[in-house]
Amino acid sequence: MGQQQLNVCVVGAGYVGLTTGVCLAYLGHQVTCIDKDREKIDMLLAGRAPIYEPGLEDLLRLANARLKFTTSPEACRHADVIILAVGTPPTPNGNADLSFMEAAAAEVAAQLTGERFQVIVNKSTVPVGTAQRVNLIITTAIASRGGSANFAVASNPEFLREGVAIHDTLYPDRIVIGSASNEAINMLRVMYAPILEQTFAAPKVCPRPERFDLPALVTTDVTSAEMIKYAANAFLAMKISFINEIGGLCEKVGADVTEVARGIGLDKRIGPRFLQAGLGWGGSCFGKDTAALIRTAQEYGYDMPIVSATVSVNRRQRLRAIDKLQETLKVVRGRTIGLLGLAFKPDTDDLRDAPALDIIRVLLEMGARVKVYDPVALENFKIQYPNLAVEPCKNASELSQDCDAVIIVTEWEEFRHLPLAELAEKMTGAKVLIDGRNIIDRQDAEKAGLRYVGFGR
């Protein structure tokens, strides 16, 4: 029996929505991506992705025949599944801003006719209770016009990592579906069948991992599904903050945190992932989700000291780069400091909550001259932060010219293979290399004439 093809609408063609929509189209479904941003839609219609994600434009071309892009929500009328993947940015008090989600739910409600059963999926990361809120918005809107409801709301959180989002979509550890409707769960099971059974032909841009185990399907209630997402991100953030805290003690006692991480990571109960000490985490997920989790707990009068400490340790870790500059250069004012990497992680142009931004601001306040280079995110940086008075560079060699110190902020692959001797020759003064991601061998750096400073080493 062949795969059942569904008609899917994705509301929001941002990072999560676009990746999800393109992958579902590649798997054989008919997909329409809806976004209010006309410029973004025009780019997609021209076959260009508005975000940087390895392999996305290749997959976009492969799935082109089953993809549509529009600014109109009318396509929702004929969809079997409507995926809400709009932004939920943080508010000043830590809550998630649900205005985009609620507006999307209202627009979808206006398109539902009740002639067919439809599943409304919350794909965005949202606080506990949002599925009920979306259900209420849609039910109220339908009742106000005298229509009949024939839909169910499901929570289907995403677990995508920027830079490997296609891999995480096609080869996930698990797929979580929360709904009170068995019909909704069954429809989403059909939608994800090619992934759950791995029956699709793996694209060349993202081959199937060797000995890949079939993903687990977790079906639960909507509240538990919403909590799973927050709990997962909080735990991963905690793991990074933990190894950074251990790294601080390693510096005091003379241990090497990379060796400690390797030793504890071999314990299957712990595992090696997310144990890389350095400048800490950034991006749109960990900070926002830990803040939302803490805020939700406060609303119930519940204290979460471990998650709160996770955030505090990460905030402190970014400023450790400044501490290390002061320890080696003594005086930062008037010095030239180079930053290698602006994006919060490699293989993305995303600058949201990037450690580089905090480091740049502090260095400028201290009176330093700041030079920056990033292989992908530099243009985004120029557009988004035109008031940060830094000197953009074309490559690491240009950046190192006349620098007193260079900080590796993002672990781009090309930074693992820096021409260390060339950098040392162009640098001045103490020639300090602060390895904010522990990706350079100390002996190689010192042999090249650099004063190497790692994290937790």
Give the model confidence (pLDDT) of 134-161 as tens digits. Answer: 999 999 999 998 888 899 999 999 999 9
Domain boundary residue, one of 219, 238, 264: 219
Concatenating the DSSP letter of every residue in 237-286 gives: HHHHHHHHHHHHHHHHHT--HHHHHHHHHTSTTT-STT---SS---SSSH
* Residues in the annotated binding site: 35, 40, 88, 125, 159-162, 229, 274-278, 282, 288, 345, 352
pLDDT at 243: 98
Domain membership of residue 43 as a residue range? 7-219
For residues 416-426, give the mean pLDDT: 97
CATH code of the domain containing 204: 3.40.50.720
Residue with tokens 């069954």: 186
* Residues in the annotated binding site for NAD(+): 35, 40, 88, 125, 162, 288, 352
Written as six digits, the tokens of 275 are: 């144990």
49 and 194 assigned to the same domain? yes
Domain boundary residue, one of 219, 251, 286: 219
In tens, the pLDDT along 54-113 reads: 999 999 999 999 999 999 999 999 999 999 999 998 888 888 899 999 999 999 999 998
Query: In the predicted model, is pLDDT for residue 1 greater than 70?
Result: no
* Residues in the annotated binding site for substrate: 159-162, 229, 274-278, 282, 345
Domain boundary residue, one of 155, 189, 219: 219
Asked, for residue 239, whether it belongs to a domain, the answer is no
pTM of the predicted structure, to 2 decimals: 0.91
Catalytic amino acids?
285
Distance (Å, whole) CA 423 – CA 398: 9
First to last CA, the chain: 57
Asked, for residue 305, whether it belongs to a domain, the answer is no
3 state SS of 390: coil
Q: Residue 228: which region, alpha, beta or left (left: phi > 0; alpha: psi -120 to 50)?
A: alpha
* Number of structural domains found in the chain: 2
For residues 218-231, give the mean pLDDT: 96
353 and 210 assigned to the same domain? no
Query: In the predicted model, is pLDDT for residue 44 greater than 70?
Result: yes
